[in-house]
Amino acid sequence: MAKSIDVSDLDIYYGDFLAVQGVNMTIKARSVTAFIGPSGCGKSTVLRSLNRMHEVIPGARVEGKVVVDGQSLYGAGVDPVAVRRQIGMVFQRPNPFPTMSIYDNVLAGNKLNAKRMKKSEADSIVERSLKGANLWNEVKDRLNKPGMSLSGGQQQRLCIARAIAVEPQVLLMDEPCSALDPISTAAIEDLIHELKSDYTIVIVTHNMQQAARVSDDTGFFNLKATGEPGHLVEFNPTSKMFTQPDEESTEAYISGRFG
Amino acid sequence: MSTTTKREPQTEAVAGPVQRRGDVVFAGLAKGAGVLIMVALAGVGLFLLIEGAPAITASGDQAYGNDNIVLFVWPLLFGTLLASVIALLLAVPLALGVALVISHYAPRRIAKSLGYVIDLLAAIPSVVYGLWGAFVLAPAILPSYQWLAGHLGWLPFFEGPATTGRTILTASIVLAIMILPIVTAISREVFAQTPRMHEEAALALGATRWEMVRMTVFPYSRSGVISGIMLGLGRALGETMAVAMVLSVGIGVVTVNLISPQNPSTIAANIALNFGNASGTKINVLVFSGLVLFVISFAVNFFGRWIAARGQVKG
C-alpha cells in the first residue's frame, strides 16, 4: 500500500513567479519525512505539489517530475482527482466539513467514489479509521454529532481519520500541529509513529523538535537569497541532520543561529 | 455631611460607566433607524387595515361584480402566487447556475464582466420590461405556445387555446428575468464566501469540482441562497407594471392553464389597472387586496427564514 516518491528537478511556479527551484529527493516508503525551513521558503508548496493540490490555485503550475512507485504524477493523461484519491492530505487548520456528522466526515472520501456501500461496510470503515486515528474511544458514543463539536485536537484527528479512510498510499501533513496545544500535539505525534507502519508520511513542520521526534528523514528548505526562489538545501536521515549536517546553513538554522 | 460628600463621587465612579459622546450619538442614530423601520412598517399595516376594513362587507358592483370580497380577492391571489411560483421555478436554477459559474468556474475576467451584465438587468425599469414583454416577447413566443397546445394540450397547463402571447406564462418569464439579478447576486456572494479550507479539504480527498461544490459550497451557502430566493420572490409577488402591461386578463378566472387568453391577474397589477377609476367602497376593496398581498409577502418571508434556520441547526 505505501509507496515511495521520487522527485526530480521540480520547479514550482505561481503564475510567472518561480517559488521553488530544482528540488531532487527520494522519499522512502513506510517512513516519515519532515520538511523544515523558515517561512516562505516553499516547504508547503513542495508538499502540495506531491498530490497536485498546488494547481488548485489559479495560475499555479509545476515543471519537473514527481514519480510515485514508478508512476509519474504529472504525466500526460493523469487525472489530478485520481492522484488526490491516492495521496491523502491533512491541513494546518483542522477542517472537518461543518455540515456533516463525525460519521459522515470519516466517510466523505469513500462516498466520493460513488459506489453504494452497505451499512455494515460503512460502519466498519468508520470504526477502523477512527481507531487508526486514535479517536474511536473518545467519539464512539456520539458519531452522529457534528464534526465541529469536537475540540481542535480531536478535529485534527478526525481529519486524519477521514484521510486514511480511503486507504491512500501516501499521507501528506501540512503543519498538522501548529494550531494545537501540546497535549493534542503529543497525541498526533504518537499517531504519526503508528501510521508509519502502513503509510508513507510527509510532514511539514516549523517545530524542529517535532521533526527530530517523528521523522526518519529530514529535508531542509531555504531561500537562496531574498527575492530568489526557495530550494532544497539538504536532505538526509534525521539523526545525521540534527547532529552533523552536511551544510553549514542547515546547522545554523537548526541551532538557532539562522542567517 | 463630610462623609456623604466624600462617598458620592466614589460610588459614581464605580457605578456609572464612562459615556463618550461619539458612542451615545451613534447608538442613538442606530436605534432611531431601527425604530423608524418598525414605525413605517406598522404604519403601512395600520393603513391597510383601516382602509381595507370597510371592504369586508362589500358585494355586487362595489366588489367588481362579485358576491363578496373573497370571491374578488381569491382569483387575484391565485394569479399572484401562480405567476411568482413559475417565475421562481424558471429563475432559481438559472440564477444558481450563473452564480456558480461566476464564483467557481469561469476565469476571473470573464466572471467579472458576466457579473456586471447580470447586475445591469436589475437597473432596467419595470416599465421597460413590460413593454418588451408585451411587444417583443409575447409575439415571438406565440408559436411555441401553439406548439405546446398542439402537442402537450392533454396537460392541464397547456390546454390553450393559444391565440395570444400575452399569457401568464409570458408574464412569469418576464418576472423571472427581473428577479434573476438579485438571486444571482446574493448567491454569488455567499458561494464566494465558502471557506477556502473546506474547499481544499474536499479537493484533497479527491473530489471533482462538482463534488467539491456539492460537499462544501452548497451546504455552506444554503441559508444565504434561501434569503436571496425570498428577496426575489418578494419582488415577483409585488411586481406591478410589467405584469399589468403583459397580461391579457380574464375576469375572476382561476385556472392552471398557462397559455390561454383568459388569465388570472395579480393583486398588484389589478390595483394599478383599476385604481384610477375606483371610487367609494371600490377603493377599500382594492386596498383590502393590497392587505392580502402584504400578509402573503410576510408569510412567505417568514416561511423562507424558517427553512433557512432549520437548515442551519442541522449543520
Q: Provide ipTM, 2 decimals.
A: 0.87
Which residues lie below 8 Å from residue B82, measured CB to CB, with a gap of 6+?
B168, B172, B256, B264
| Beta-bridge partners for A5 | A27, A68
- Kindly report the length of chain A: 259
pLDDT of A147 higher than 70: yes
Considering only alpha carbons, which residue of chain A is nearest residue B311? A99
Contacts of A176 (CB under 8 A, 6+ apart): A90, A91, A92, A156, A160, A188, A203
Q: For residue range B66-122, what is the model confidence (pLDDT) as tens digits?
A: 778 888 889 999 999 999 999 999 999 999 999 999 998 888 889 889 888 988 888
- Give which of A51, A54, A56 to mutate to test B binding, by max B Cβ within 10 Å: A56
Q: Which three cell numbers stand for residue B239?
A: 411586481
**pLDDT tens digits for range B262-278:** 888 889 998 888 888 88
Whether A36 and A19 have beta carbons less than 8 Å apart is answered as no
pLDDT in tens, B208-250: 889 999 999 998 898 889 888 988 998 899 888 888 888 888 7
Whether residue A12 lies within 8 A of chain B, CB to CB, comes out as no
Whether A93 and chain B come into contact, CB under 8 Å, resolves to yes
Grid coordinates belonging to A61: 503550475
In sign, the C-alpha dihedral spanning A175, A188, A192, B211 is negative
Q: What is the pLDDT of residues B163-182, one digit of tens each?
A: 888 889 999 999 999 999 99
Mean pLDDT of chain A: 88
CA-based nearest residue in chain B for residue A58: B107
Per the structure block, which three cell numbers stand in for A85? 484519491
3-state secondary structure (DSSP) of residue B271: helix
Q: Does residue B135 have a pLDDT over 70?
A: yes
Grid cell locating A128: 477502523
Residue type, B221: S
Confidence class for position B14, pLDDT limits 50, 70, 90? low
Cβ-based interface (< 8 Å): residues of B facing A:
107-108, 195, 197-198, 200-208, 211, 215-216, 219-220, 314-315
Burial label, A222 (beta-carbon count in 10 A; 0-12, 13-18, 19+): buried
Say if strands A60-68 and A230-237 run parallel, antiparallel, or are unpaired.
unpaired
How far is A89 from chain B, CA to nearest CA, in Å? 6
Residue of A nearest to B215 (CA): A97
The pTM assigned to this predicted structure is 0.81
CB-based contact A32:A196 (threshold 8 Å): yes
| B3 pLDDT tier (thresholds 50, 70, 90) | very low
Q: Between chains, do A98 and B202 touch, taking CB under 8 Å as contact?
A: no
Round to whole Å and give the CA distance between B87 and A249. Answer: 67
CA distance B188 to chain A (A): 19
Distance of CA B247 to the CA centre of its chain: 19
Task: Report residue B176 as a C-alpha cell.
Answer: 423571472
Whether A78 has its CB under 8 Å from any CB of chain B: the answer is no
* Phi/psi of residue A7, nearest 5 degrees: -110, 130
pLDDT band at A258 (very low <50, low <70, confident <90, very high): low
> Amino acid identity of B191?
F
Contact status of A144 with chain B (Cβ, < 8 Å): no
Nearest to B201 among A81, A86, A97 (CB): A97
CA distance A211 to chain B (A): 23
pLDDT band at residue A24, thresholds of 50, 70 and 90?
very high
Residue A256 phi/psi, 5-degree rounding, is 90, 0
In the three-class reduction of DSSP (H, G, I as helix; E, B as strand; rest coil), residue B154 is classed as coil
pLDDT of the residue at A106: 92
Number of A–B residue contacts, CB under 8 Å: 64
Other C-beta atoms lying within 10 Å of the C-beta of residue B201: 28
